[in-house]
Amino acid sequence: MAHYPHPIIAREGWPYLAATTLAALVASVFLGWWSLPFWLAALFVLQFFRDPPREVPTGGGIVLSPADGRIVQVGDAKDPYLERDCVKISVFMNVFNVHSNRSPVDGTVENVWYFPGLFVNADLDKASTDNERNAVHLRTADGHDVTSVQVAGLIARRILCYVGKGERLARGQRYGFIRFGSRVDVYLPRGSRPRVAIGDRVSATTTVLAEFPRP
């Protein structure tokens, strides 16, 4: 997959932005000041689909946040995709966060799984197993396995993933998008050391979520 250039507004939002802006312009002609709600809708779409470039931290053995949002889970768990004990960190994205998803590590895509499901509030723990979701299994050059899972939310109705088995991703590289509110679960090797806590605000790529276990 080619590196995605950052045009500031995510390509997934271009049709929505064009439609809402056109509607606002037409409303301005016929409604004057009453067109304000149409312009607010266009402004909302503009901020939702923003996709700013990010500085990628250097250093080995670190796991970066794959999404903007708030940490809602940190702790020991079971990785249902690789069937292993692990450390799980979950990031909840509301409608005001950037929804572009970035690779948490440098690694090769070992597998991708898609599961249809429900659309309950992504802030709830059961969203990880009940909601529509797409899981990407990455393996680093050091042999660490990372599972990054895009989870749909109450309003989200479309998970977009642009990578397949065998592709290589660089840390911070854009690989997917979720429309309108969601979460991303990251499953890490047992013994990984979290660098965030529940309630912390994180930014995709720039925030270090955890460090891998030391050999």
Who contacts 107 (Cβ-Cβ below 8 Å, separation ≥6)? 138, 139, 140, 141, 144, 146, 168, 169
Out of 90, 100, 182, 192, the active site residue is 182
Nearest Cα neighbor of 131 from 95, 184, 65, 82 is: 184
Question: Is 185 within 8 Å of 92 (Cβ atoms)?
Answer: no
Instruction: Based on the residue annotation, tell me whether 203 is a catalytic residue of this protein.
Output: no
Residue with tokens 């923003």: 50
The type of residue at 209 is: L
Put the strands of the sheet holding 174-178 in their side by side order: 100-102, 174-178, 159-161
Give the residue numbers marked as catalytic.
182
